[in-house]
Amino acid sequence: MTVATRLIELYRTGGRDELARGIGDWIAVNPPGHLAAQLTQTATLSVDGVSATIAVDSKEDLYRARGHGERDVMADLLAAIEADDVLWDIGANVGTYAVLAALTGATVSRRWASTSTRRPPTPES
């Protein structure tokens, strides 16, 4: 698929927001992504009216904060979860699913994988 064809497809399926997300994802996983992460420091993830501002330290963080190609799955989660539900985010990386679920009012608990290179947040964070 050519770049132009992919851009047209993104616009047709989700309008300007999906096009911007697609371009952002491409930038995040290509060499300029690290520079973009350093310049932006935060990114906003918006799925079906639920928005979260996520700290960005690396191009992977930027990619995840932009939905990392799983926006449809995130939308399905948001449609299924209710305010009194409990969500366990096992082995959470950036925790985008957990953050979105918490913003709907669900109780969220995270368990870090023993192989995770990330550190759990401190109570102050």
Q: Are 81 and 87 in contact (CB under 8 A)?
A: yes
Identify the domain containing residue 48 by its residue range: 3-111
The residue with tokens 């963080």 is 61
Domain count, the chain: 1
- Asked if residue 123 belongs to a domain, the reply is no
The upper half-sphere exposure of residue 117, i.e. CA atoms within 13 Å in the direction of its Cβ, equals 0
- Asked if residue 124 belongs to a domain, the reply is no
Whole-angstrom Cα distance, residue 118 to residue 35?
21
| pLDDT tens track for 75-122 | 999 999 998 899 888 766 668 888 899 999 998 886 665 655 555 555
- Asked if residue 91 belongs to a domain, the reply is yes
Whole-model pTM: value is: 0.58
- Asked if residue 119 belongs to a domain, the reply is no
What local confidence, expressed as pLDDT, does residue 125 receive?
44
What local confidence, expressed as pLDDT, does residue 75 receive?
94
- Asked if residue 117 belongs to a domain, the reply is no
| pLDDT tens track for 40-50 | 678 888 999 99
**Assigned token pair, 81:** 């979860």
- Asked if residue 56 belongs to a domain, the reply is yes
Whole-angstrom Cα distance, residue 79 to residue 41?
29
- Asked if residue 76 belongs to a domain, the reply is yes
- Asked if residue 116 belongs to a domain, the reply is no
Mean pLDDT of 37-60: 81
